[in-house]
């Protein structure tokens, strides 16, 4: 698929604000930082460590791919830095806010304003149309429906002709594009993607990865993505490898 | 946006939505019909008693306001004493007998001449007045319900009666027989269940009552113009308990159905709840969404319940012409409020459960 044709990135100039606060790679303060992050799950009477003192940071505007075998703690790391799960120990700083010190309600409010999620299984609301799925994020954000922002984002992701379709009426690639639109509609500072190409064929994977790259390169969107796909990491600035709940290295992708 | 989400969720599982609406409809209809039936019967009975045309009714001290329960006869000689009172134009003793054979009926044993004097006489639709000891008068609604014609023999209280006439309804009972025969059948010679008094002028009613009270202390003396207001479920023993029990039962049905509906909804939409949380939806937002869906379901149920109530009433009245079901806006509103409270209570636990759901577990739920 001609990516450029699918994502008319030139139109990004129409965005009322740049998505995220990015384009500043050399910032002193990382937008995302974990220090000695532990997450323990309880399985019966046994505590199972999913994260074992993870130290990890992401600069504003940076795109990072997290790789590792199944069960190494990638998703747990993503959910913890996204505020969906609480840390057992350690610090999680998101744009200067320590998630570990926040209540569930406070984390929810922070997530609403600063973080967008994209999931492997798309996780669209099945009863709503594409339009509804994107608009609900604006509604929850609390600013109400912004038709201009909505138009720009849906045009950016090539969804204009699919807005009145339900998820069951769309292909996997289209569903994931709707999910990306939903994730960025409120201009979050960080986009967290949990294996967004895991349920897509190669063609649609490339489309989604190209979209993520362009969001990052053109609009400065900070992105952290989990993936199993070695080819996917070429779209990112940096790759982080995890094993047994810890980060084992951090090397430039190219 | 919230409205659209709720609307689409309800449409997503139409059968479940329809069952939920019907269950609440049955709840509402049950409340409206039970109350409507009791108040309808009471009101209709009271109107018939008022329709006799008497000014005062006398009952024994232990008698009930609801005449069907009145099993406390008085000596018929009291009538002679009442006739002597100032401003009393006529007095009619009535012996009441409750019959449950072939339906529930209150039979008036009347003295033809004095009853006609008090009531102004029956309006005959066919046949003629009672002449023999076994003659029976039937009002038009009872005749229609029991398929009775003039000249028929009708068994009532294990006695064969000759149907002498069909009269217009609204004169106390639906079945009238000679008082002497009914007294014989009841083994209550020279007894009357009530005395009906007609004053020379309606304005003298209070004067006559004031005269009667010292003469018959502890006896129940009612001005019949007030009778309708006395015929409430609270004045009929046990009726209020029955009505409240039926309402409680209806509320339980509605509450349980809503609970089950919303519980299955929440379980089915666990992943959606996780998605909403990932988008930053707070616990109050989740609770509000579930409760509003329940309320929307309830509004549909109330509308269905009101429609069902009127349909059932129309069917009942056609099948049982003597039955009266009074549907009042007040009780429709009350039934709606009861259903709404039940719906909110029924959805509260599922809503709370949804709001407490762990976001990560919800997102990975299959």
Residue B135's H or E segment, with its range, is: strand B135-139
In whole angstroms, give the CA distance from residue A36 to residue B233.
Answer: 73
Pick B247 or B71 by higher pLDDT.
B247
In whole angstroms, give the CA distance from residue A215 to residue A207.
Answer: 12
Burial A10-25 (b: 16+ CB within 10 A, else e): eebeebeebbbbbeee
CB burial of residue A205 (10 Å; 0-12, 13-18, 19+): buried
Whether A122 and chain B come into contact, CB under 8 Å, resolves to no
- Which pLDDT score, from 0 to 100, does residue A219 have? 83
Predicted confidence band of residue B68 (pLDDT cuts 50, 70, 90): low
Q: How far is A187 from chain B (nearest CA, A)?
A: 12
Residue B68: name the closest of B211, B193, B224 by CA. Answer: B193
A:B CB pairs within 8 Å: 72
- Say yes or no to pLDDT of B86 above 70: yes
Q: How far is A254 from chain B (nearest CA, A)?
A: 32
**A120-138 pLDDT tens trace:** 889 999 999 999 999 999 9
Q: How far is B294 from chain A (nearest CA, A)?
A: 17
Nearest by CB to residue B280, choosing from A112, A124, A135, is A112
Nearest by CB to residue B280, choosing from A85, A123, A140, is A140
Give percent helix, percent strand, percent coil of chain A, each to the nearest 5: 35, 25, 35
Residues of B in contact with A85 (CB under 8 A): 358-360
Residues of B in contact with A132 (CB under 8 A): 1, 4-5, 8
Q: 10 Å Cβ neighbour count for B232?
A: 16
Residue A172's H or E segment, with its range, is: helix A172-184
- Say yes or no to pLDDT of A3 above 50: no
Residues of A in contact with B275 (CB under 8 A): 123-125
**B313-344 pLDDT tens trace:** 999 888 887 788 889 999 999 999 999 998 99
- ipTM, two decimals, is 0.83
pTM of the model: 0.76
Q: What is the mean pLDDT of chain B?
A: 88
Q: Quickly count helices (H) and strands (E) in chain A.
A: 7, 10
Q: How far is B365 from chain A (nearest CA, A)?
A: 11
Lowest pLDDT segment from A174-178, B99-103, B279-283 = B99-103
- Residue B239, C-beta contacts closer than 8 angstroms, at least 6 positions apart: B38, B233
Q: 10 Å Cβ neighbour count for B119?
A: 20
Query: What average pLDDT does range B176-193 have in this prediction?
Result: 91
Residues of A in contact with B277 (CB under 8 A): 84, 108
Residue A124: name the closest of B206, B323, B272 by CA. Answer: B272
**A181-240 pLDDT tens trace:** 999 998 899 999 999 988 888 888 888 899 899 889 888 899 999 998 888 888 999 999
Whether A117 and chain B come into contact, CB under 8 Å, resolves to yes
Shortest CA distance from B275: residue in chain A: A123
User: Could B278 and A145 be called an inter-chain contact, meaning their C-beta atoms sit closer than 8 Å?
Assistant: no
Whether B366 and chain A come into contact, CB under 8 Å, resolves to no
**B286-320 pLDDT tens trace:** 999 999 999 999 999 999 999 999 999 999 888 88
Start-end of H helices in chain B: 2-12, 14-51, 78-83, 112-119, 140-146, 179-186, 205-215, 227-230, 239-268, 270-278, 283-319, 329-356, 359-363
- Residue A171 half-sphere exposure toward CB, CA atoms < 13 A: 11
Query: What average pLDDT does range A42-48 have in this prediction?
Result: 85
**B213-272 pLDDT tens trace:** 998 998 989 888 877 677 766 666 677 888 888 888 888 888 888 898 889 888 888 999
Nearest by CB to residue B1, choosing from A113, A126, A136, is A136
What are the DSSP calls for B177-244, one per residue? EEHHHHHHHHT-TTEESEEEEEESSGGGHHHHHHHHHHHSTT-EEEEGGGHHHH-SGGGSTTHHHHHH
Shortest CA distance from B269: residue in chain A: A125
User: Could A136 and B278 be called an inter-chain contact, meaning their C-beta atoms sit closer than 8 Å?
Assistant: no
């Amino acid at each position: 698929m001609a990516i450029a044709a699918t994502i008319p990135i030139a139109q990004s100039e129409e965005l009322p604000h740049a998505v995220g606060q990015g384009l500043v790679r050399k910032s002193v303060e990382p937008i995302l930082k974990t220090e000695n992050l532990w997450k323990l799950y309880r399985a019966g009477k046994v505590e199972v460590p999913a994260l074992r003192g993870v130290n990890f940071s992401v600069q504003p505007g940076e795109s990072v791919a997290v790789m590792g075998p199944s069960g190494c703690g990638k998703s747990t790391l993503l959910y913890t830095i996204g505020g969906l799960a609480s840390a057992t120990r350690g610090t999680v700083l998101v744009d200067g806010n320590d998630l570990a010190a926040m209540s569930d309600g406070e984390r929810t409010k922070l997530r609403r304003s600063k973080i967008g999620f994209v999931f492997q299984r798309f996780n669209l609301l099945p009863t709503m149309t594409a339009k509804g799925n994107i608009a609900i994020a604006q509604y929850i954000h609390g600013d109400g429906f912004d038709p201009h922002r909505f138009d720009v984002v849906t045009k950016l992701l090539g969804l204009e002709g699919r807005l009145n379709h339900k998820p069951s009426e769309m292909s996997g690639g289209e569903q994931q594009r709707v999910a990306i639109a939903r994730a960025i509609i409120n201009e979050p500072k960080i986009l967290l993607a949990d294996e967004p190409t895991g349920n897509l064929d190669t063609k649609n994977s490339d489309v989604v990865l190209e979209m993520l790259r362009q969001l990052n390169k053109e609009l400065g969107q900070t992105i952290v993505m989990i993936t199993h796909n070695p080819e996917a990491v070429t779209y990112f600035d940096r790759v982080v490898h995890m094993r047994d709940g810890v980060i084992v290295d951090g090397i430039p992708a190219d | 946006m919230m409205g659209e989400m709720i609307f689409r969720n309800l449409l997503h599982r139409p059968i479940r939505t329809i069952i939920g609406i019907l269950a609440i409809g049955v709840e509402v209809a049950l409340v409206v019909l039970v109350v409507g039936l009791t108040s309808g019967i009471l009101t209709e009975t009271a109107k018939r008693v008022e329709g006799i045309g008497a000014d005062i009714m006398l009952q024994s001290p232990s008698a009930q306001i609801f005449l069907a329960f009145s099993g406390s006869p008085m000596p018929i000689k009291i009538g002679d004493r009442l006739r002597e009172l100032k401003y009393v134009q006529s007095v009619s003793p009535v012996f009441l007998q409750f019959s449950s054979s072939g339906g529930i009926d209150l039979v008036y044993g009347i003295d033809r001449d004095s009853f006609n004097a008090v009531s102004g006489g029956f309006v005959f639709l066919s046949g003629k007045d009672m002449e023999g000891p076994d003659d029976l008068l039937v009002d038009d609604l009872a005749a229609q319900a029991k398929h009775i014609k003039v000249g028929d023999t009708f068994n009532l209280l294990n006695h064969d009666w000759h149907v002498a006439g069909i009269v217009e309804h609204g004169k106390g009972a639906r079945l009238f027989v000679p008082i002497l025969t009914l007294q014989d059948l009841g083994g209550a010679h020279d007894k009357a269940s009530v005395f009906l008094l007609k004053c020379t002028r309606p304005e003298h009613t209070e004067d006559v009552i004031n005269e009667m009270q010292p003469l018959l202390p502890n006896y129940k003396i009612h001005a019949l113009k007030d009778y309708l207001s006395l015929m409430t479920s609270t004045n009929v023993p046990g009726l209020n308990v029955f009505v409240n029990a039926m309402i409680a039962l209806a509320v339980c049905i509605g509450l349980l159905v809503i609970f089950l509906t919303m519980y299955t909804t929440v379980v089915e939409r666990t992943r959606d709840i996780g998605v909403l949380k990932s988008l930053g939806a707070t616990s109050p937002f989740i609770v509000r969404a579930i409760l509003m869906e329940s309320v929307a379901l309830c509004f549909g149920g109330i509308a269905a319940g009101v429609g069902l109530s009127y349909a059932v009433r129309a069917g009942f009245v056609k099948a049982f012409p003597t039955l009266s079901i009074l549907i009042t806006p007040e009780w429709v509103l009350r039934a709606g409020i009861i259903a709404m409270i039940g719906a909110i209570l029924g959805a509260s636990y599922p809503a709370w459960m949804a709001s407490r759901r762990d976001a990560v577990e919800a997102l990975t739920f299959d």
